[in-house]
Amino acid sequence: MSRNFYILAATLAFFALLSAAMTLVPSSFQPGLPANGSLWRTVSMFLLLFGLIAALIGVMSHLFEQVDRRTEEARKAARRKNREPRG
């Protein structure tokens, strides 16, 4: 599950970099696109923000999955230990 958030974060960061690079392109090379540099910077900022949020969600979900897995392994180990014959 966290892999999907990592992919989403990378995609959003890529598009943020792409829209940040659009501020450097002269308006004559952008027919039909918004030529206002502040608009591209704003879009870039929001895309980067959403990408960072997606990365944070991915990290947190990965950590919770790891905790669940380790808890399950510890529970199984304790159950195995209790089932061993004593003596």
Q: Which residue has the tokens 């380790």?
A: 70
51, two tokens = 């990408």
Cα dihedral 21/26/30/33 (nearest 10): 70
Q: What is the pLDDT of residue 81?
A: 87
Distance of CA 16 to the CA centre of its chain: 14
Question: In a structure prediction context, what are the per-residue pLDDT tens digits for the chain, which is 87 residues long?
Answer: 778 999 999 999 999 999 999 888 877 776 777 667 788 899 999 999 999 999 999 999 999 999 999 999 999 999 988 887 775
pTM (2 decimals)? 0.77
